[in-house]
Structures are given as structure tokens and as C-alpha cells.
Structure 1
Amino acid sequence: MPIVRGIVLCLLAVGLATLPASADVLMLDGEPVVVERADQPTRGMHERTVISRYGEPDARHPAVGEPPISRWDYDGYSVFFEGSFVIHTVVRRADLDQP
């Protein structure tokens, strides 16, 4: 009986792994634009590293939700954290035209 249970669990795991993934794409005024600058925080950086490299943010917004997501605003971009680690850096729309 344990062998049958193992086979069933393996088949269930394979079946779940092959389900199609889906995602929503937010479109604002046309095509999405990815902006990467050499001098911006990157995914996975710890907040202490961000402060040591980029200084104190202009504003810190408190964490919301579960997992806790917070935002720090710098001149021209915002850094989003999950807990203590960077998940995204977003360049504000007004700054997209600047190099």
C-alpha cells in the first residue's frame, strides 16, 4: 500500500507542476517599459546595504499586508521591500525621459 500511495503522490505532484501559470500585466498608457539604471538598488539587497550605498531615503512608507511590503522613496525612484530585502526598484514616470 505505501508504494501505491507514493506513486499517487508523485503523479499528483507532476500534474500540479504542469498546470499553466498565469500573470496579470498592468498596462499604463501603452507598452510597459523596463528601465534599468546602473546605480539603483537590485533585487535581494538588504535594507542596510541600500542605506550604505544610496543613503537615507527621502521618505519611508510603513509595511502593509502579509508578507509585509514597504516602500522607500528616493529622488527619481522608489524601492520596494519584502521584509528587509529589495524586491523591486521602480523609476517614477516623470523620470523616464532622463538618462
Structure 2
Amino acid sequence: MLRSFLVAAGLALAFAAPAQADRLLIERAQASEAANLPARGQSMAEVEAKFGAPQQKLEPRGGQSAAWPVIHRWVYPDFTVYFERERVVDTVLNKAAPQEQGPAPANRG
């Protein structure tokens, strides 16, 4: 009887954790859409004028050829901005906690 209870409790926890993680990920995606973030196409100067200096400017990557333009990354407390040359190409919210995981990769079969 106790063993059946423990198995049932374990199964309930196993299925509850992914549902909680999915809900949190959806909430973060919705927050990202509603957040005041740099817009695609803004210049570095426009981003810095509106949001201030970033906490960190990471080393640029790419630039080996015209097919691989230089990508700059600026880290702010809540988000990271990705620039291709001098223009915003994407802005993403930073993880809320180190253990947070993003969405599972799409199954491309």
C-alpha cells in the first residue's frame, strides 16, 4: 500500500514539473513581447541613448567573410541585444535563474 502511494506520488511530481516549466516559459515569452526592448533596426547609438550604457559589451564575433557579418552583443540587466554591424537584429530576455531552460529543440525528422 505504501509502495503504491509512493509510486503514485512520484508519477504526479514527474508530470507536474514539466507542466510548471512550460507555464513559466510561456509567461516569459509573453513578458518578452510586452517588455520595453530595443527594436530591430535601431542603431547602437539609439539603443545607448534610450537604455543607457550596457553592463557589458561582449567581444564581437564573426566577420570572417561577407556571409558572416560581425555580431556585437550588449548585455543589460534584463536583456541582451544582438547587433549585426551597427543595427539591432534581435533582443532576448536574460534567464531569470541559472537553472532555467529554454524550449526544447524542434523535432526535425
- Runs of 4+ in structure 1 off by over 4 angstroms are 29-33
Aligned-pair CA distance for 1:76 = 1.0
Matched, 1:53 2:50: yes
From 59, 62, 82, give the equivalent of 2:59.
Answer: 62
Shift of 1:87: 0.5
Task: Indicate how the Cα distance of structure 1 residues 58 and 30 shifts in structure 2: closer, same or farther if over 3 A, else same.
Answer: same
Instruction: Name structure 1 gaps, 5 residues minimum.
Output: 1-28
Structure 1 residues 51-60 or 63-72, which shifts more? 63-72
Count of residue pairs the alignment pairs up:
68
Q: Distance in 2 between matches of 1:81 and 1:46?
A: 8
Partner-residue secondary structure (3-state), 1:36: helix
Query: Normalization by structure 1: what TM-score?
Result: 0.59
- Runs of at least 5 residues in structure 2 that lack an aligned partner in the other structure: 1-20, 63-67, 101-109
**Higher fraction of helix:** 2
What SS is found at the alignment partner of 2:33? coil
Letter in 2 for 1:69: I
CA RMSD of aligned residues (A): 2.4
TM-score by length of 2: 0.54
Measure the CA separation in 2 of the matches of 1:30 and 1:38: 20
